[in-house]
Amino acid sequence: MKTRVTELLGIEYPVIQGGMAWVAEHNLAAAVSEAGGLGIIGAGGAPAEFVREQIRKVKEVTDKPFGVNVMLMNPEADAIAQVIVDEGVKVVTTGAGNPAKYMEMWKAAGVKVIPVVASVAMAKLMERGGADAVVAEGMESGGHIGSTTTFALVPQVVDAVSIPVIAAGGIADGRGMAAAFMLGAEAVQIGTRFVVATESIVHENYKQQLIKAKDIDSAVTGMSTGHPVRSIRNKMTKEYLRMEKEGADFMELEKLTLGSLRKAVVEGDVVNGTVMAGQIAGLVKKEQPCKEIITEIVDEAEKLMGNR
């Protein structure tokens, strides 16, 4: 399954792990890279020095390529951008904003830059700015989302840019991967299925919540604040949506979700915490090692695409 993305990144399979805040730490990233995909450390809202330690820990266990995701709303994004250069990280993905101001320093350091985008306009802007590829992420995804579905977004982005496109949002098996390739994608980014990987350090309650989730069990909060976030419906999302309907202001809503992702991922509070997950959670049925997840997905996709 060689594509421009496997060539660009020097990886065996065109499977990239989502840069999920709190979830995508060194154990998961190293396991995905060791399995032949591209593991990603999700910097999320973490301090720059924490990200540096995570990078060093991945390097201790694997020589394979891995990347770092910079969540651009992090107040420490500038410092993290520098840590990436200092530590010789080869691949960066970005989310929740426009990485233009870091492009020059990253390109000068030989870092491959792959912004996550949710629109054609943003994809074109990133290509003009020197991006090596883009992740086109549909609103089926967990976490911070745009408003277009993967099925509509990916082919439109593919037609609009000449750099490789990586599809994300609603992909968790070989059927999804094959479908993404039919739309013109040259790799897939997968989040939700890796959350329940054996190597994922996410609290057991969080994993079970995803494993038992059905197709309609997620909700999108934050539409009114301009920061829509998809997570599994629970007491927190119900309260949030009720407050939004009543016209609560930004600060009031912020209070409800401050530290709430950590609460779910680390403490296992899946009632009051934010259990970010994609709409595809209903397809994710069991915990498996990253190697098994990747092999299963790639084998199934290859069969469907008639490669073997």
Contact set with ligand TUI (CB under 6 A): 21, 44, 71, 95-98, 116-118, 122, 137, 143-146, 227, 229
* Closer Cβ to ligand TUI, 267 or 302, answer by number: 267
Name the minimum Å distance from CB 299 to ligand TUI.
Answer: 28
Query: Which amino acid, residue 5?
Result: V
Rank residues 146 and 273 by Cβ distance to ligand TUI and give the closer one.
146
Q: How far is the CB of 246 from ligand TUI (least distance, A)?
A: 21
Residue with CB nearest ligand TUI?
Answer: 143
Distance CA 255, CA 232 (A): 19
* 185 vs 6: CA distance, rounded Å: 12
**Other Cβ atoms closer than 10 A to 149:** 14
Minimum Å distance from CB 14 to ligand TUI? 19
Q: How many residues does the chain have?
A: 308
Q: Judged by CB, which is closer to ligand TUI: 174, or 273?
A: 273
Q: Taking the complex as a whole, how short is the minimal distance between the CB of residue 77 and ligand TUI, in angstroms?
A: 12
Q: In the bound complex, what is the minimum distance in angstroms from residue 270's beta carbon to ligand TUI? A: 17
Q: Residue 114: phi, psi to the nearest 5? A: -130, 90
Burial 209-220 (b: 16+ CB within 10 A, else e): bbeebeeebbbe
Asked if residue 243 lies in contact with residue 194, where contact means CB atoms within 8 angstroms, the answer is no
Least distance (Å) between residue 239 CB and ligand TUI: 16
Gap between the Cα atoms of 260 and 256, Å rounded: 8
Q: Which of residues 21 and 40 has its CB atom nearest to ligand TUI in the complex?
A: 21
Nearer to ligand TUI among residue 45 and residue 65 (C-beta): 45
Q: 142 or 176, CB closer to ligand TUI?
A: 142
- In the complex with ligand TUI, the residue whose CB is nearer, 74 or 288, is 74
**Nearest distance from C-beta of residue 195 to ligand TUI, angstroms:** 12
